[in-house]
Amino acid sequence: MPTPLITRISRTLSALAVTSAIAFAGAPAMAASWTVDPAKSTVGFSVAQGNETITGTFKDWTADIDFDPQNPEAATIKATIKTGSAGTGNGQFDAMLPSADWFNAEAMPDATFESSKVTALGGDTYRADGTLTIKGISQPATLDFKLEIDGTTAHATGTASVNRLAHEVGTVVGKSQIADTVAVTIDLTATE
């Protein structure tokens, strides 16, 4: 039969364990910080031009990602893209992209995406709603992505549809020549 002292210690430890469990359960989960490896990652785009599709990539960009798949609601995603780094391999098109009629890269070199809400869609798929700013014009944007995590390495692939005309990109060219909807794609590898 336990002594009164042992009984009191046992009750105190039990109370501490319950209090700690409640405090831990009530504490907000911290999102994990991920470092993107640019050498293993791409940010690309594609747009229809008549019966063909123009594809390209942005060579210069950064991404700050805090994401915990157990608590996606706490995630924050911010990307900055240097629009002057866009390239398609088509000399004529590449010469147009940085111009004032298109990205106006000299005056406004950065396009940014900042998430406001990340939602789990089931399995390993997620949706990041946020704001995309190009040429100083901010519009709502949605990035749907698939995320696979293996230990401390994450691989994400996703797509967002962007209306170029809503950001006044290439307004001198009508939709009959180049589609107004541009698919922006990501393929990112990051470590925790």
pLDDT at 31: 59
Whether residue 21 is found in the same domain as residue 99 = no
**pLDDT confidence of residue 9:** 38
pTM confidence score? 0.82
Residues 107 and 151 in one domain: yes
- The per-residue pLDDT for range 126-150, each reduced to its tens digit, is 999 999 999 999 999 999 999 999 9
11's CB contacts (< 8 A; 6+ apart) are: none
* CATH code for the domain in which residue 45 is found: 2.40.128.110
Please check whether residues 115 and 50 belong to one and the same domain.
Answer: yes
Q: Which residues of the chain register pLDDT less than 50?
A: 3-30
Q: Which residues contact 50 (CB under 8 A, 6 or more apart)?
A: 177
By C-alpha distance, which of 157, 166, 161 is closest to 184? 161
Cα 68 from chain centroid (whole Å):
13
Quote the domain boundaries for residue 124. 31-191
- Tell me the residue type at 9: I
pLDDT at residue 101 in the model: 95
Could you tell me if 129 and 80 lie in one domain?
yes
19 plus 94 within the same structural domain: no
Identify the pLDDT of residue 32: 81
Q: Say if residue 99 is in the same domain as residue 17.
A: no
> Is 97 found in the same domain as 176?
yes
Are 71 and 3 within one domain?
no
Q: Tell me the C-alpha to C-alpha distance, in Å, between residue 80 and each of 21, 111, 132, 181.
A: 40, 6, 10, 20
Q: Are residues 76 and 156 in the same domain?
A: yes
Quickly tell me which residue has 């109370």 as its tokens. Answer: 15
- Count of domains in the chain? 2
